[in-house]
Chains A and B, each alone.
Chain A
């Protein structure tokens, strides 16, 4: 049983070690915390890799899943976390006491990992709290920066409201089913009634906060713009892995005949992708643009949830989407980090002439978001469209197509000046760590897209336990 949660234990122990190190180490050695955090993430990755292809079952009295989807979700979280640590090292170098930052980062990743495996409402609440509370602190890490404080307050407020709804919703479902495990909900929930609909809606609302989907999406653009750039890369992507996987497990536990979750999620997907896109259109702040694009991306991801149980492509499309989304997001924010946080659209003009590799990474991540082959984003979109069509939601696929066309416009608003404009002045960059992390992510977007077979094969075999 304990063997099922070795990666989680590694993360807990690692974050405590990092914290103790940060407390004890002198200022000049604070960066050592980053190395410890990297080692922790690497160790957790190794422990997770060992679970690949293993047996799939529920553990800890049906409260935690050890299935292919959870394992892959963890791997995506850990990969994204390694990328975020790489971005953070040069960014926080000037901060004298930044060691405990890495402890928070690991704990936040742990929250996402827990979410990916949660098959119990209490477990879900715990994971949400861990992931959210650390996220608030991370977003506000630059205490003296007013945009960061504002972003964190907004993030916190939206989070507080949805936490309340989550707790009430969980109480409803527990009261109706007499159990908090998802398998208990499947057995115990009544087949109808206002209480069931209310409880389910309140819990789903809390998940939309975590994944940044409508109607609790409002924090995403603010955090993307105001939080420290490496934190923005982390918070706008990694917790969503856990959130989306938990949503998939939750809806499967609900009685389909009374809770019309499929149309509900479809409408959420449609509204999220459309609003995110429209809002991104005229942003002149690249980080805010990335934030809105992150909102619209989650709308595409929700299409996989709609297709659950109706298409064999649903789970693979969900995992491919999460992989493409996290890696692409870290790469895009990585470019901003490496450019010392320059974020005004006008300052990106002519970038390709001075920093061809960074411009290339930005182009690759944007083209992957758009879904241009052979990048990972294309495989993800292909599978998402296929799953949605097979599930009988052709209108949603068609809407996603329209949205994709719209999205080209704002991505091109950045890429056009980057490649076609004249260079205005020197382009200082941050350092090797962030560059390596960014370019590695961009390279992964290309490579995983081309060598998609092993991933697709593994994703099709990944089970999704829950209800």
Chain B
């Protein structure tokens, strides 16, 4: 078990028999893995290119654009309907980028590269499908299948108690998905004519009347999306899954899969049942504030790098939900609520990029140092310049330093929430303070102070790692410095949704 943390290049001689039965020369294996990785990266880049094309063709009309619809189970009102609006396009583009970067990132493949890359590509297709789906049935199909893909990634390429973490992840999130399924069914049964078409359901507003039935459906959606987000107290699956997953899978899990939950809050709950949402907006905002403060405090107490990043995700997802709750509160100026919603959506994108980068960095630390314990490191700034520089940028972006993407997002969330729930906005500012403290502490423990003897040969990041992290962080800076291109895109859907004239 002790060797589980040793990188493959080192542990090759120690590899057990079942890993590589015929034991080909190590160099040959590495070359094969590299070729596979290059091919998988190329395949992963195709959707990214297509989404850039879609972005250039996007008009910003407020309705779904570039829609493709094919009948699937027409008798049941199910169709393969996909398309984009100002909410899904940025998330889909962010998803594609994170997958390209994560697939290209070096990782210990345990001698099984082919299924690893196949699963990553499968997950990319599923995640994009979820954000592009305009049909609740299709949405749920992608939703559930993503769990299966991640289950195998954690279980087979994870470390520590990977099997247990994978199982916990699967059971917990699947348990969340079933209330979601019941809620989707409830909405479907209430619609007339019955359909799973999101645009059609949006027009119909089948549960506008409210009542117990609508509340139950709302509750089902809430549990489903809150588990995935994860919102306190539904977050307990997240730390073990993150810590034991391989770093690229963690990046995907935090960067992409968590967004499925927050995306559901906006796409389904806010859009399809705005009246019920308004009734529950305040408790939701309250829960978001709890998540913000709790996530930050628990993250502060962590000594394990990956667990620390995992808990900051709980904190950041709290900002998103706070913004969404403010946007759906049903009172306050439409202008402010639009700002809150734009902020929440921007936070989804920003968090994906930033936390994706942070988790990938933690993977690099593991490959080099063999542990996530912060206390084991120190003084690395002297040895590893690129690692230090990129980590500092990512950490500052995560704690919300102006000029970086996180600030743009959080500023708008707070600005919007302030006019709806001023007290809650005030309390949640605490989260920013604590986050700043914990990231500074993390940077200090990793990079400052004297360099321990055993890290005298600590290697800096390689070109693949620098390229991957660079791609993410350049975008983080771009959004921080000149956010208009992203904000206008998001505003094209957020404005009409909150009824801003």
Contacts and interface: CB of A to CB of B under 8 A. Distances in A.
A460 B75 contact: yes
B105 interface: no
Chain B interface size, under 10 / 10 to 19 / 20 to 34 / 35 or more: 20 to 34
B167 A412 contact: yes
Given A385-B185, A416-B166, A372 B148 contact: yes
B384 interface: no
A367 interface: yes
Nearest to B142: A373
B18 interface: yes
A382 B162 CA distance: 31
Interface stretch (A10-18, A170-178, A450-458): A450-458
Interface stretch (B172-180, B347-355, B449-457): B172-180
A362 to B, nearest CB: 14
Contacts of A397: 182
Contacts of A350: 18
Interface string B157-189: 000001100110011001100110110011011
B430 interface: no
Nearest to A455: B73
A325 B83 CA distance: 35
B163 A416 contact: yes
Nearest to A405: B175
Given A373-B140, A420-B162, A456-B75, A389 B185 contact: yes
B156 interface: yes
Nearest to A459: B75
Given A405-B174, A420-B155, A367 B179 contact: no
A261 B38 CA distance: 62
Chain B binding surface, main DSSP class = helix
Interface string A396-423: 0110010011001100100010011011
Contacts of B152: 419
Q: Which secondary structure dominates chain A's binding surface?
A: helix
Contacts of A346: none
A281 B475 CA distance: 48
A401 B178 contact: yes
A416 B182 contact: no
A363 B178 CA distance: 20
A310 interface: no
B74 interface: yes
Contacts of A398: 182
Contact of A419 (B74, B155, B181): B155
Interface string B134-152: 0000001100110110001
Contacts of B144: 372-373, 378
A112 to B, nearest CB: 28
B72 interface: yes
B337 to A, nearest CB: 33
B185 A382 contact: yes
Q: Which residue among B75, B155, B156, B162 has the maximum number of chain A CB atoms within 10 Å of its CB?
A: B75
Contact of B72 (A385, A419, A453): A453
A390 interface: yes
A389 B217 CA distance: 12
A409 B171 contact: yes
A385 B174 contact: no
B145 A372 contact: yes
B171 A408 contact: yes
Contacts of B141: 373-374, 378
Interface in B66-97: 71-76
A353 interface: yes
A386 interface: yes
Contacts of A367: 148
Contact of B171 (A385, A412, A460): A412
B378 to A, nearest CB: 34
Contacts of B189: 386, 389-390
A413 B18 CA distance: 21
Contacts of A416: 155, 163, 166-167
B188 A386 contact: yes
B149 to A, nearest CB: 11
Contacts of A389: 182, 185-186, 189
A423 B171 contact: no
A453 B74 CA distance: 7
B191 to A, nearest CB: 12
B351 to A, nearest CB: 27
Nearest to A450: B72
A161 to B, nearest CB: 37
A423 B112 CA distance: 14
Nearest to A422: B18
Contacts of A452: 72-73, 76
Contacts of A404: 174, 178
B74 A385 contact: no
A386 B162 contact: no
Contact of A423 (B18, B147, B182): B18
Interface string A76-97: 0000000000000000000000
B17 to A, nearest CB: 9
Interface string B118-145: 0000000000000000000000110011
Contacts of A456: 73, 75-76
Nearest to A461: B75
Contacts of B185: 382, 385-386, 389
B439 to A, nearest CB: 34
Nearest to B155: A420
Contacts of A370: 174
Contacts of B162: 420
A404 B179 CA distance: 11
A453 B174 contact: no
A390 B182 CA distance: 11
B181 A382 contact: yes
Given A372-B148, A405-B171, A405-B178, A422 B74 contact: no
Given A373-B145, A401-B179, A419 B156 contact: yes
Nearest to B19: A422
Nearest to A408: B171
Contact of B170 (A385, A408, A420): A408
A120 B172 CA distance: 47
A41 B27 CA distance: 55
20 contacts: A350-B18, A372-B145, A372-B148, A373-B145, A374-B141, A374-B145, A385-B182, A386-B189, A389-B186, A401-B179, A401-B182, A405-B178, A408-B174, A409-B167, A409-B171, A416-B155, A416-B167, A452-B72, A453-B72, A456-B75
Closest 7 A-B residue pairs measured CB to CB?
A: A373-B141, A401-B178, A405-B175, A422-B18, A420-B155, A453-B73, A386-B185
Interface of B: 16, 18, 71-76, 140-141, 144-145, 147-148, 152, 155-156, 162-163, 166-167, 170-171, 174-175, 178-179, 181-182, 185-186, 188-189, 216
Given A420-B156, A453-B71, 9 more contacts: A374-B141, A385-B185, A389-B189, A398-B182, A405-B171, A408-B174, A409-B167, A420-B155, A456-B76
